[in-house]
Structure 1
Amino acid sequence: MTIHLQPPTSSPAASTPDAADVALKAKHATMWGLGDYPAVARELIATLGPVVVEALDVKPGQRVLDVAAGTGNAAIPAALAGAVVVATDLTQSLLDVGRAAAEAAGAHLEWRQADAEALPFPAATFDTVLSVVGVMFAPHHQASADELVRVCRPGGRIGLICWTPEGFIGQMFAAMKPFAAPPPPGAQPPPLWGREEHVRLLLGERVVSVSAEKRTVAVTFESGEAFRDFFKRTYGPTIVTYRFIADDPEKVAALDDALAELGRSALDHQGQMEWEYLLVTATRA
């Protein structure tokens, strides 16, 4: 069974985007292609995909959409569970890595470049719609939430994993904020998706049986400096922040110190960090 791309129907987000939005999405696509995000997905958070697949009880034959799928941390486990899966992302290079990983794992699914705020599918196409630390980075939260709901059939399931503002990744973004370029008008901070009340407000009365639970994923680093250097090398948002201050050595040194200290403060005596996330599941009304 193949799910073919079609122009979206009944979607406000499907209207022609303005030039500023096109430019913003191009910047996002480029940012996530910098460094080596596949290493982050593979080495640090590979377990998160199976968590949401299990929470949603994905079954053989179900039509599943993974939004902002990256390299397929959730899409591949869903396909291995027998679902008919489409993985979408704004960054084509991540989808290319995911396609190769799926082939190596014996998983069969579709990979499509798409904007989370204007998904190219008709309404009510999927039984299950999910995203793992992905859709939270789309700049306009309500637009992407509307799309998650729109493409899910009535009675279908929606599942999200998002970093919390209070957790380690939320703290990392807070540490980088003073050094980063100002966000464009209308863009909202990604960690807001890690607040239950924010997600409930975004999804509104269009969903029922909402469940929200804070959990953690264990991540290992040798030191705070090792964490900092790994993210400077692999993680698009961190790379972009350093590029923004590259001409100011004092700011670079200050950000170096801030990230290393953050890493040190989170490490226990065994070299582990616990990164907090919010797992949300809901049923389309």
Structure 2
Amino acid sequence: MTMQNSAVEADRALKAKHRAMWAQGDYPSVATEVIPELGPVLVEACGVRPGLRVLDVGAGSGNAAIPAALAGADVVASDLTPELFEAGRRVAEKQGAHLTWQEADAEALPFGDAEFDTVLSCVGVMFAPHHQQAADELVRVCRPGGTIGLLSWTPQGFIGRMFAAMKPYAPPPPPGAQPPPLWGDEDHVRALLGDRVTDISAERRAVRIDRFATPEMFRDYFKERYGPTISVYKNIAGEPDRSAALDGALVDLARDADQGTGSGGTVLEWEYLLFTARRAG
């Protein structure tokens, strides 16, 4: 096997692993029950309107793609994990949204150059392992003058800290892979896109999460439904002491971040970066 063929096979295996990670659990319920407002926030920031052709990269079950379609745009929802589409189709049908669902690798999008007026991703493309390749694809498929919009968890925010808490229990990342929350760092995203974009707007915001009565309920919800958390627990399944330590680390994270003031429930603020830019040219 040549070095090039070996690299292709390694990438194919990595993408298969990522697809399987997101297919397990129930990410669509996380999107609809915990963070439903994030997609509409991104769609509004991108100025999506009737007549625009929009691509949602890492669309999952359509948290941003469906609001974009309801805004009147011609939308393609793309994701590496098509198992997530069925839940999205049900939501779209219920809401009267019409859009196209297409399996796609964010690092090798099956679309033409400058094919879309708006290219967006709501906590999606940030999980592609090779950030520069994914960023290059976002730019390539966006027309000159078009909008690129990203909503990503920050390294310093709650989800970024959750990934840091899970890291000691996770298998080592593959060569060249970068941590997802780096997409929530403005300087990192600016470096990825470079001088290929103009009119940059970058703002840190937070979404209020108050659906978990206790820190333990947060932990158990993510253990059951969130693919990356499920994968980390599977990695240490035969090590009860480490599993218990991770249990404690996630509870401590939620307890430390709890902003509840005697309301009887856990109140969390999950920080994200809202980033929009216009493709130069």
Cα deviation, 1:114-155, whole Å, max 9, x if unaligned, reads 000000011000000000000000000000000000000000
* d(CA) in 2 for partners of 1:264, 1:212: 29
1:249 aligns with 2:240: yes
- Which residue is 2:99 aligned to? 109
* TM-score, normalised by the number of residues in structure 1: 0.94
- Which residue is 1:31 aligned to? 21
Q: Percent identity?
A: 66
Q: Paired residues, what number?
A: 271
- Which residue is 1:46 aligned to? 36
Amino acid at match of 2:128: A
- Which residue is 1:218 aligned to? 208
* d(CA) in 2 for partners of 1:182, 1:16: 20
3-state SS of 1:257 partner = helix
Cα deviation, 1:89-117, whole Å, max 9, x if unaligned, reads 01111112111211111000000000000
Kindly indicate whether the alpha-carbon contact (under 8 Å) linking 1:88 and 1:95 is maintained by their aligned counterparts in 2: no
Residue 16 of structure 1: how far off its partner (Å): 11
* TM-score, normalised by the number of residues in structure 2: 0.95
- Which residue is 1:198 aligned to? 188
1:122 aligns with 2:112: yes
3-state SS of 1:71 partner = coil
Amino acid at match of 1:225: E
- Which residue is 2:279 aligned to? 284
* d(CA) in 2 for partners of 1:158, 1:125: 13
- Residues 185 and 50 from structure 1, CA distance in 2 versus in 1: closer, same or farther, beyond 3 angstroms? same
Stretches of structure 1 lacking an aligned partner (at least 5 in a row): 1-14
Cα deviation, 1:225-263, whole Å, max 9, x if unaligned, reads 111000000000000000000111100000000001111
Kindly indicate whether the alpha-carbon contact (under 8 Å) linking 1:172 and 1:262 is maintained by their aligned counterparts in 2: yes
- Which residue is 1:235 aligned to? 226
Residue 207 of structure 1: how far off its partner (Å): 0.3
Cα deviation, 1:188-227, whole Å, max 9, x if unaligned, reads 0000000000000000000000110000001111111111
- Which residue is 2:53 aligned to? 63
Moved over 4 A (4+): none
* d(CA) in 2 for partners of 1:92, 1:126: 21
Amino acid at match of 1:144: A
- Which residue is 1:10 aligned to? none
Which residues of 2 match residues 152-163 of structure 1 at below 5 A?
152-163=142-153
- Which residue is 1:207 aligned to? 197
Moved more, 259-268 or 105-114: 259-268
Amino acid at match of 1:151: V
- Which residue is 1:273 aligned to? 268
Residue 265 of structure 1: how far off its partner (Å): 1.1
- Which residue is 2:83 aligned to? 93
Amino acid at match of 1:131: S
Moved more, 17-26 or 195-204: 17-26
- Which residue is 2:177 aligned to? 187
- Residues 189 and 19 from structure 1, CA distance in 2 versus in 1: closer, same or farther, beyond 3 angstroms? same
Residue 61 of structure 1: how far off its partner (Å): 1.0
Find the partner of 1:260 among 241, 244, 251.
251
3-state SS of 2:117 partner = strand
Residue 79 of structure 1: how far off its partner (Å): 0.3
* d(CA) in 1 for partners of 2:69, 2:191: 30
Amino acid at match of 1:161: L
* d(CA) in 1 for partners of 2:180, 2:7: 21
Amino acid at match of 2:159: I
Stretches of structure 2 lacking an aligned partner (at least 5 in a row): none
Residue 17 of structure 1: how far off its partner (Å): 6.6
* d(CA) in 2 for partners of 1:242, 1:34: 12
Kindly indicate whether the alpha-carbon contact (under 8 Å) linking 1:223 and 1:267 is maintained by their aligned counterparts in 2: no
